[in-house]
Structure 1
Amino acid sequence: MGDASLPHLLAEQRQAVIREWLTRDGRVLASQLAASFGVSEDTVRRDLRELAARDECRRVYGGALPLAPLEGPLGQRMGQDRDRKARLGRAIACTIMPGSSLFIDAGSTNLAVAEALPPDAGLTVITNAPAIACALQDRGGLSVVLLGGRLDPASGACLGAQTMREAERMRPSVLVLGACGIDAKAGVTSHDLEEADLKALLAARAGAIVVAATNGKIGTAASFQVTPVDGRVHLFVEHDCPEAALEPFGAAGASITRAGADAASRRRPAAVSRKDPIR
């Protein structure tokens, strides 16, 4: 946030400063902006509304966050940061208990989770993503369930009324949840309302929630909330994710694991064993 008062700025100038501080600090608070600019909080909230209307930030209670990245269609995302996503996938896959039922949400990082699942583990894998089902179809020792519905080409997910009806029957022990953005206060968020509704339904039914987040998604928010960040959330991040960015997640009760790190470097609430696999 700004270190000195910046009075008498025009709206466009204030908004340019807000964009700069969002990039630098990852969050802005309306009360602090008002004090820095020497204007009312109503004026600041109007600035934030205008920025949000142009998709330059995402408003949250008390301020704003950077907008969650728009990454393009699934085919394009599958070719991006493959090594980083593979490390996240392996880190998650090795924590899944044999015999578990898990729902793997659509997404390129979640596809990497599916590809890293061990064979002959007796897992039941449920998904709404045809690409994930196809990746597992020849894998021995797995039972694969593909939900039906309308295939959305951008997300690579089956969505709509049929998908929701089928999902209502599912109670997976683990949900591998895709996130457009994730913030300790804003929670897991999605750009698409229909997709957010399905994710929220599954999150309410799952025993544990696993989220793999590349660095660009940490501390950002999309338009629609899926689920809060709390003690049910196991967050897997890249090995070089800044520690300061993770502190709010730990304070919210989430378990945190850096991809490629050993068990000693995992950060969990004190009451949870660091060696426990995800059940």
Structure 2
Amino acid sequence: MHDIADCMTETPPTARRERIAQRLEAGQTVVAAALAGEFAVSEDAIRRDLRALAAEGRCRRVYGGALPLSPAVGPMAVRATQAMERKQALAVAAARLVTEGEVIFLDSGSANLALAEALPDDLGLTVVTNSVPIAAALMARPGLDLIVLGGAVNRTVGGVVDASAVLAVQQLSLDRCFLGACALSARHGACAFDAGDAAFKRALVEASEKLVLLAVTEKLGTRAPHRVAPLEAFEALVLEDDAPEALVAELGQAGARIVIA
């Protein structure tokens, strides 16, 4: 049963919902109160729209509104099979940043899984990771020393991000960290959906001399609820060659070096 305000508005509920979805797909955050005023309906009506869109997998609900989806949504086992060639291109570009004898951290993430396979064997690298898939990929690489953090595995993240993992990171001294992120923007920096994952990533930021982030184009200009690090904290952002010029310029102006794969 629709609210009286629904019947009074000139925009039918289905059309209104589609217009909201188009904004989300364009990377815009939506606020329920603002939408209610714009469409002359109640906030309850807008919340129903957002619940329906979330159920269809077209947005992520947050308090007071909704966020556009990031390609980081979904289990790691699924993400690892998506856009593989594009992530391999990012990985090849990122691997060139590594120098001899470094202790590097590969954070959980499908792009970093591709990077694990692209790392050279002849630089005497020590690789630390919290990721189960990354650790499995590196087990077959005798030219790389491997350290795996222990703890409870978060299947969506694809690795360990609990309190024991945070404590382990706090004892590390890392030359370079390839940080994973669910979303990236000039205003909000690198963000994550999961609170525990975000806390773990912040510990990595503190433990690392240099930070690098690999990001597919769909993550650019999006945001997630938990901030991890501002752009100026990164030595480099490795982006795809189809990244929109305006977004690339915004990211560069925030202080990070841009590497185009």
TMscore range, shorter length: 0.7 to 0.9
Give the whole-Å Cα distance in 1 for the aligned partners of 2:198 and 2:235.
17
Alignment map for 1:47-66 (pairs within 5 Å): 56=59, 66=68
How does the TM-score come out when normalised to structure 1? 0.74
Contact 2:130–2:149 under 8 Å retained in 1: yes
Q: CA deviation at 1:143?
A: 1.4
Contact 2:105–2:174 under 8 Å retained in 1: yes
Indicate the residue corresponding to 1:86 in structure 2. 88
1:242 lines up with 2:250 in the alignment: no
Q: CA deviation at 1:107?
A: 1.4
Once the two structures are superposed, residues 92-149 of structure 1 have per-residue CA deviations (whole angstroms, 9 ceiling, x without a partner) of: 0111111111110011110111110001211111100122122122323321110111
Contact 2:169–2:207 under 8 Å retained in 1: no
Which runs of no fewer than 5 residues in structure 2 stay unpaired? 1-8
Indicate the residue corresponding to 2:220 in structure 1. 218
Give the whole-Å Cα distance in 1 for the aligned partners of 2:220 and 2:259.
14
Q: CA deviation at 1:256?
A: 0.9
Give the whole-Å Cα distance in 1 for the aligned partners of 2:229 and 2:61.
16
1:189 lines up with 2:191 in the alignment: yes
* CA RMSD, Structure 1 to Structure 2 (Å): 3.2
Indicate the residue corresponding to 2:167 in structure 1. 165
Contact 2:106–2:129 under 8 Å retained in 1: yes
Q: CA deviation at 1:150?
A: 0.5
Give the whole-Å Cα distance in 1 for the aligned partners of 2:206 and 2:189.
14
Q: Which structure carries more helix by proportion?
A: 2
Give the whole-Å Cα distance in 2 for the aligned partners of 1:173 and 1:160.
23
> What SS does the aligned partner of 1:173 have?
strand
Alignment map for 1:243-262 (pairs within 5 Å): 243-259=245-261
Give the whole-Å Cα distance in 2 for the aligned partners of 1:112 and 1:223.
26
Contact 1:14–1:37 under 8 Å retained in 2: no
1:115 lines up with 2:117 in the alignment: yes
Pair 185,51 (structure 1): closer, same or farther in 2 beyond 3 Å: farther
Give the whole-Å Cα distance in 1 for the aligned partners of 2:167 and 2:29.
39
Indicate the residue corresponding to 2:202 in structure 1. 200
Indicate the residue corresponding to 1:128 in structure 2. 130
Q: Percent identity?
A: 35
Indicate the residue corresponding to 1:268 in structure 2. none
Once the two structures are superposed, residues 149-186 of structure 1 have per-residue CA deviations (whole angstroms, 9 ceiling, x without a partner) of: 10122222012121111111112111101111111111
How does the TM-score come out when normalised to structure 2? 0.79
Aligned length: 242
Pair 187,15 (structure 1): closer, same or farther in 2 beyond 3 Å: farther
Once the two structures are superposed, residues 169-208 of structure 1 have per-residue CA deviations (whole angstroms, 9 ceiling, x without a partner) of: 1121111011111111111111111111101110122111
Q: CA deviation at 1:28?
A: 6.4
Among 164, 175, 178, the residue aligned to 2:177: 175
Among 84, 87, 101, the residue aligned to 2:103: 101
